[in-house]
Structure 1
């Protein structure tokens, strides 16, 4: 079996659904978005954006360069790309190459997916994929395989809600110590996934970089995989830990929800039947 830390990807996520097209920077406001981007000093192994454009198509752009120094990131995040989208900052540790093929978000037609966590062993995820799903793989990451399994379930069930729910049930059962935190953008919905109750926080790779927990970015030491959300009259936002601002609410542990892109209605997914308490 592969060592637990091999290929670990510990990243930052931001997702939004709004009433009108927004620049990603406007989701948080300039100062807070700058704070979010400053996390690329640590999570500097690539960045990616995905959004639903006015043409009703999902678009995605990514780069293996650091968001802290890439002018293309600064330019794009200040444009009103769409009313729904996501931003991902990647930190790849433990051996996975920092190359375009491994950079989030991963896409399939009108779907885009970004992940904050690690699923191991990668070989086990591949065993869960059909021949058709495996043929679509381009990179080496656990995240891309996680995404392919979610898409496989959606197509088999002919339903986004049912497929995502079944995929998460299976992943929670097969990988109880993984962080499955992710954002999935579809033609109609933004799925926010916060599943990590048995994952180590902070990851070993993060602890090794700081002399004390107090030196880490906000909430990275004890709640690295935490996710927060807020609902305003104009939008729904979800974000990884690292931003110290009022007005955000904690996403419950081992929860997932879907946000309708048109109405911004939030609907929780039923994950209760999975019991992780007896896992070693």
Structure 2
């Protein structure tokens, strides 16, 4: 599981300047639970491929995290705090966002059991895996669909539909950067946190949203900036995102494309 923060702007801007230092501080406070690594993907301008910085360290008191969120200016960014699924190593190659084929992706959820995920993957996709997470395999399935889909958003929709058949209760929430778009997957209708995770959150001083609505994503419009965020942080004018959908935000003209998903 994780916390996600995405930003789309009319011009290059840091995460800190886009959402404000207080909101970023609220986000970092979530490392009380989500302290198993962090990562930032960014796109400098139109036509550019994403660049990614990841770490297996907690974002708290990490100088690299401070530099990444305050000094790196991008037209679109995806920031991720990791809460490692039990049994998966805390190491850089398991930190999100993942980067391949000109696309970056961060996932919020746990796809279990993980073994059958490999059945969806072709041999070249399996050989390209760097880490051991379900999330990286989900990303590889999206990239397989991109080979035949007319655009990235449709590739994402097809991958989600394929996985839904085998994993109807998994959260497939994700943020992707690539092809001059920020793409949001809001797909968690039947997802629930395990009892042990609920107990860990309940024993920690975190906002009650983490218990009531952990998997939801929402949007805030801040002048010429659009922010996408997980629940549980930030005093922003949040609006709900369409349920069970793939939403593509264009970096070219700020337009949105909404692809509904079939119910799980």
TM-score of the superposed pair, with normalisation by structure 1:
0.89
Equivalence for 2:197: 206
Q: How does 1:80-91 map to 2 (within 5 A)?
A: 80-91=72-83
| 1:42 is aligned to 2:28 | no
SS in structure 2 of the partner of residue 33 of structure 1: helix
Equivalence for 1:221: 211
Q: How does 1:122-137 map to 2 (within 5 A)?
A: 122-137=114-129
Gaps of 5+ in 1: 1-9
- Structure 1 residue 254: Cα displacement: 1.4
| 1:185 is aligned to 2:170 | no
SS in structure 2 of the partner of residue 238 of structure 1: strand
Equivalence for 1:146: 138
Gaps of 5+ in 2: none
- Structure 1 residue 57: Cα displacement: 2.8
Equivalence for 2:220: 230
Distance change in 2, residues 1:37/1:146 (3 Å): same
Tell whether the 8 Å contact from 1:117 to 1:181 is kept in structure 2 after alignment. yes
Tell whether the 8 Å contact from 2:9 to 2:226 is kept in structure 1 after alignment. yes
| Partner Cα distance (1:106, 1:150) in 2 | 12
Equivalence for 2:20: 29
| 1:15 is aligned to 2:6 | yes
Tell whether the 8 Å contact from 1:218 to 1:243 is kept in structure 2 after alignment. no
Distance change in 2, residues 1:126/1:219 (3 Å): same
SS in structure 2 of the partner of residue 157 of structure 1: coil
Tell whether the 8 Å contact from 2:27 to 2:234 is kept in structure 1 after alignment. no
- Structure 1 residue 142: Cα displacement: 0.1
Equivalence for 1:5: none
Tell whether the 8 Å contact from 2:185 to 2:247 is kept in structure 1 after alignment. yes
Residue by residue over 1:80-128, the C-alpha shift from the partner in whole angstroms, topping out at 9 and shown as x without a partner, is 4211010000010311000111111111032100001011121111100
| Partner Cα distance (1:61, 1:210) in 2 | 27
Distance change in 2, residues 1:130/1:38 (3 Å): same
| 1:75 is aligned to 2:70 | no
Aligned-residue CA RMSD (Å): 1.7
Tell whether the 8 Å contact from 1:58 to 1:187 is kept in structure 2 after alignment. no
| Partner Cα distance (1:164, 1:261) in 2 | 18
Residue by residue over 1:27-78, the C-alpha shift from the partner in whole angstroms, topping out at 9 and shown as x without a partner, is 2101111111111121000000000124823100000000012110011210
| Partner Cα distance (2:184, 2:152) in 1 | 13
| Partner Cα distance (1:29, 1:257) in 2 | 24
SS in structure 1 of the partner of residue 232 of structure 2: coil
Tell whether the 8 Å contact from 1:118 to 1:178 is kept in structure 2 after alignment. yes
| Partner Cα distance (1:96, 1:212) in 2 | 22
- Structure 1 residue 246: Cα displacement: 4.3
Give the number of aligned pairs: 263
